[in-house]
A = this chain, B = another copy of it.
Amino acid sequence: MDINCENCEFRSLIFDGLKDDETHLLSLNKSEKIYLKSEKLVGEGNSVNEFFYLKKGLVKLHKIGKDGKDHIISIAQPNDFISLLSVFSKPEYEYTITAIEDSFVCIIKLDFLNKLIKENGEFSITILKKMSETYNNIINTRFMISNKHLRGRIAYIILFFSEIIYNNTKFELPLSRREIGELINMTTENVIRILSEFRKDKVINIDGKIIEIINGDFLKKICLAG
């Protein structure tokens, strides 16, 4: 399981900036792990001493609201630093991270990462940029979703999985209807209602969790219109 980081095919642009000796040290300070679908990587309140890098799979970042219901903050995909949100500001995770597909994760000791940042100026700039992008992405997405009507949100989420995650007009939803509601702020019933509506209007085909986009232009129009 333990691959040398020098040859890691997944090594992101971030770690490409490291010097050879640093990359070698990285090999010694990381571990790798597979999490199965619905397995928890970290829980809200867990102490932060590692840094998770998603190589393969899909995870959700979520948190229980004061209403007692679960809310999904974002979906992370391969090459994302999935613990970026909590790692520098708090001693404990503010969110729970759960695999929504079988996921292959690279785990780096936080002490080592901090050392790298302190010693390698270029690397620290790269991390700053990546972090800024990650956060901006989340804020922009949440902003967009909260300004859409239900039909627009469903259109958005279908296009998100089709274009951003699976790069295919036909794909299997990694989330239940309830989870989709938790992600885009609507009730399970309405998720189903609007999916059915799109099916009746021949915008998509639905077969359980398999979604196929028939009229992508319409979805894009609805998504933009809000």
B-binding residues in A (CB < 8 A)? 63, 65-67, 71, 73, 85-90, 94, 114, 117-119, 121-122, 124-125, 127-129, 131-133, 135-136, 138-140, 142-144, 146-147, 185, 224, 226
Contact = CB atoms under 8 A, between A and B. Distances in A.
A65 B128 contact: no
A226 B66 contact: yes
Nearest to A136: B89
- Which 3 interchain pairs have the tightest Cβ spacing? A118-B121, A89-B132, A135-B135
B117 A119 contact: no
A224 B66 CA distance: 8
Contacts of A136: 85-86, 89-90, 94
Contacts of A135: 85, 131, 135, 139
A151 to B, nearest CB: 15
Copies in the complex: 2
Contacts of A118: 121-122, 124-125
B89 A140 contact: no
A66 B125 contact: no
A72 to B, nearest CB: 11
Contact of A139 (B87, B90, B133, B138): B138
Given A117-B121, A142-B139, A128 B88 contact: yes
Contacts of A87: 132
Nearest to A127: B128
Contacts of A131: 88, 128, 131-132, 135
Nearest to A126: B88
A108 to B, nearest CB: 15
